[in-house]
Amino acid sequence: MDMTMESCRRFVEVLASDAPAPGGGGTAALVGAIGTALGNMVGSLTVGKKKYADVEAEILALKARCNSLQAELLDQVEADEKGFVPLSRAYGIPKDDPTREQVLEEATLTACRTPIRIMELCCESLDAIAVFAAKGSRLAVSDAGCAAVCVKAALQAASLNVFINTKTLRDRKKAEEMNAKCLVMLEKYGARADEIFRAVKDSFFK
């Protein structure tokens, strides 16, 4: 079931249940989409205003990119479920089954792909939000700060859904490659999100 087609209340109800999905990955994707959309709103409140005419073309281009980003992030909610369910089933294979280790390894690798993609999308989103915060409508600058906080949370949450799986991989080279990629994104874009938040917060005390 595509949980993004359900109401917010229904999503939360299922999330709180013992259903295998949505879980951390799907939640990260949804939060990332919400944060991206919030940044996109700042763009919407900027275009068409004479005061921001000189940046309108740039803002319009960013809005188009964010439309794609938020849609793809929403797609990752279902993708994460499809990636996790086989892993959940693999853990149920009897330990004396000779195929268990290989099936589990392949399912674990599959389960890593979607949260890594969520992280990549969050990084792109934060690049856009930084511009919305710096050049967008001052009346909505707080929303740009909120957007950065949400997307950072999604970035961090998605990373944990990678690390819990890479820890169990037998192929340690692949595991370390994925870990390294995620750690770079966390360091660079976690700091970027913090910078956006600080700049927005500090702007209220000048």
pLDDT of residue 201: 98
Q: What is the pLDDT of residue 186?
A: 98
Residue type, 126: L
Q: What local confidence, expressed as pLDDT, does residue 35 receive?
A: 98
Measured distance CA(195)–CA(187) in Å, rounded: 12
Going from the N-terminus, what domains does the chain have, and what CATH number goes with each? 25-203 (1.20.120.680)
Q: Over the range 66-100, which residues count as b (16 or more CB within 10 Å of their CB) and which as e?
A: beebbebbbbbbbbbbebbeebeebeeeeeeeeee
Q: What are the mean pLDDT values of the chain's consecutive 10-residue runs (206 residues total)?
A: 89 93 95 98 98 98 98 97 90 93 96 97 98 98 98 98 97 98 98 98 94
